[in-house]
A and B are shown apart, each in its own frame.
Chain A
Amino acid sequence: MARALNAPRPARVRWGEGLPAEVDGEAVEAMRESWLVEDRWWEARPLRRRYWELIGVRGRNLVVFHDLDSGRWYVQR
Chain B
Amino acid sequence: MVACVHLPRFELVAAAEGSSLAQRALAGGALAVAPPVSADGAAAAGRLGEVSGAAEANGVRRGMLLGEALARCPELVLLPGNPVRVQELWESSLQALESIGAAVESGGPGLAFFDTAGLAGLHGTREGTIAAARRALGRPARVGLAPVRFAALAAALASASRRALVVGSPAHPTSARRWIAARPVDLLGYRERTAELVPPLRRLGVLTLGELAKLGRGELTDRFGEAGGLAHRLACGEDTPLRPRRPRERLEEAMGVGDAASGTALKRVLGVLVSRLLARAERRGRTLRAVTLSAQLVSGGSWSERVVFREPVSDPERILLALSLRLELLPAPAAELRLAVEGFGPPQGEQGTLLDQGRGLRLTRLGEAVAQVRAVAGRDAALRAVCVDPDSRVPERRVVLAPVADV
Contact = CB atoms under 8 A, between A and B. Distances in A.
B63 to A, nearest CB: 42
A75 to B, nearest CB: 11
- Most A-side CB within 10 Å, residue of B386, B399, B400: B400
B322 interface: no
A68 interface: no
A3 interface: yes
B394 A3 contact: no
Interface in A1-60: 1-8, 37, 39, 47
B139 interface: no
Contact of A76 (B385, B395, B400): B395
A72 interface: no
B393 A39 contact: yes
Contacts of A2: 386, 400-403
B386 A47 contact: no
A76 B393 contact: no
Contacts of A3: 400-401
B398 interface: yes
Contacts of A5: 385, 396, 398-401
B9 interface: no
A8 B396 contact: yes
A76 B403 contact: no
- What class of interface size applies to chain B in its complex with A? 10 to 19
Contacts of A4: 396-397, 399-401
B396 A37 contact: no
Contacts of B402: 2
B181 to A, nearest CB: 48
A76 B401 contact: no
A8 B396 CA distance: 7
Nearest to B388: A2
Contacts of B393: 37, 39
Interface in B339-396: 380, 385-386, 393-396
A39 B394 contact: yes
Given A2-B401, A5-B400, A77 B394 contact: no
B401 A47 contact: no
B340 to A, nearest CB: 51
Contact of A1 (B385, B386, B396, B403): B403
Nearest to A4: B396
Nearest to A49: B394
A7 to B, nearest CB: 5
A12 B395 CA distance: 20
A6 B395 contact: yes
Given A2-B401, A76-B396, 6 more contacts: A1-B380, A1-B403, A2-B400, A2-B402, A4-B396, A37-B394
Interface of A: 1-8, 37, 39, 47, 63, 76-77
9 contacts: A1-B380, A2-B386, A4-B399, A4-B400, A8-B396, A39-B394, A63-B395, A76-B396, A77-B395
